[in-house]
Amino acid sequence: MTSLATTLRSWLRRPWIARVGAVIALFVFWEIAARWWVDPMFLSPPSRVLMSLQAVFDTRGVPAALRITFWELGVAFAMSVVIGLVVGLAVGLQPFAQKSFMPIILLLYGTPQVTILPLFILYFGIGPASKIAFGVSHGIFPIIMAIVAGVQNIKPILLTSARSMGASRWQVLRHVIFPHMIPSFFAGMRLGMTGVLLGVLLAELYVSTAGIGYFTTLFTQNFDPTRLFGLIAVLAAMAIVLNEIVRRAEVHFSRWHAD
């Protein structure tokens, strides 16, 4: 075996290098397919997409639409967290409320919300309000479920021992229930972010007369795959960054969690 082959083999032994290699191979395949096999009206090679990224940003209205979308995501997420926390605690801490309202919440969570997307737009208009509302409507449920679960699965022995040491109800809440609930809360937020991304982006794509949806429709109708992919790539990057932020926060705050 030549030394080159052995070096190559030892490099490939590391999974992350192989992963990067797989991704690069995919891009190469895409490049070749777009250049030689497929009509340029339908597919654009990554090299051209990369170079035309600037043109995407130069298109009038695109930077503003991107900024607004990012802002919508932030607001929707913040609202989801607050509402989810309040409802989750209210339902989780009170066994009766939990038994009564959880089935209703689960029912709502299970319905395909995408069917009422047109309704949201009718009610809230084509501006940011509807996108935020639809995002919140997707984001609160995982957070509520996670908080209820986090409160529910406290080992009763912990509560008993706190009470046996004379803790008041408020102290139990603050020093036992709250800290115990934190990892679940962050896990819920991670799923909540996924939901918010889905809700906001769905709403944005639906509204074809303003915002991101306007430009995706425009680029599609003009058969401009280069700028379309550039725009979508930027949005995908936005989604990845936001997901990663929440995921890291979860890892950081859950360090004590054994499960």
Partner 1 sequence: MTPAGKAREGKLASRSVQAAFLVALIVLWYLATTRWGVSSILLPNPVLVVRQLWDILKSGEFVGDLRVTLTELGIAFAISATSGVTIGYLISRSHYRIRVLEPLFAGIYSVPIILFLPLYVLFFGLGPASKIALGATISFFPIALNTIAGFGYVDKVFVVAARSMGASDVQLFRYVLLPAALPIILTGMRMGFTVALLSIIGSETIASLAGLGHRIVHLAEGMEMARMFAYIAFVVAIALILNTIVSALEARGKRHT
Residues that bind partner 1 (CB under 8 A): 15, 18-19, 22-23, 42-43, 96, 99-101, 103-104, 110-112, 114-119, 121-123, 194, 197-198, 201-202, 205-206, 216-217, 219-220, 223, 225, 228-229, 232, 235-236, 239-240, 243
We find the least distance from the C-beta atom of residue 171 to partner 1, in angstroms, to be 27
Closer residue to partner 1 (CB): 132 or 201? 201
How far apart CA 197 and CA 207 sit, in angstroms, is 16
Q: Please state the three-class secondary structure of the chain as a single string.
A: CCHHHHHHHHHHCCHHHHHHHHHHHHHHHHHHHHHHHCCCCCCCCHHHHHHCHHHHHHCCCHHHHHHHHHHHHHHHHHHHHHHHHHHHHHHHHCHHHHHHHHHHHHHHHHCCHHHHHHHHHHHHCCCHHHHHHHHHHHHHHHHHHHHHHHHHCCCHHHHHHHHHCCCCHHHHHHHHHHHHHHHHHHHHHHHHHHHHHHHHHHHHHHCCCCHHHHHHHHHHHCCCHHHHHHHHHHHHHHHHHHHHHHHHHHHHHCCCCCC
We find the least distance from the C-beta atom of residue 138 to partner 1, in angstroms, to be 10
We find the least distance from the C-beta atom of residue 158 to partner 1, in angstroms, to be 24
We find the least distance from the C-beta atom of residue 55 to partner 1, in angstroms, to be 17
We find the least distance from the C-beta atom of residue 168 to partner 1, in angstroms, to be 26
Closer residue to partner 1 (CB): 43 or 167? 43
We find the least distance from the C-beta atom of residue 195 to partner 1, in angstroms, to be 10
Between 211-221 and 62-93, two packed helices, what is the crossing angle to 10 degrees? Answer: 130
Closer residue to partner 1 (CB): 100 or 160? 100
Closer residue to partner 1 (CB): 6 or 161? 6
The answer for residues whose C-beta is within 8 angstroms of residue 100's C-beta and 6 or more apart is none
We find the least distance from the C-beta atom of residue 47 to partner 1, in angstroms, to be 17
Closer residue to partner 1 (CB): 167 or 247? 247
Closer residue to partner 1 (CB): 71 or 123? 123
Closer residue to partner 1 (CB): 180 or 215? 215
167 touches 128 (CB < 8 A): no
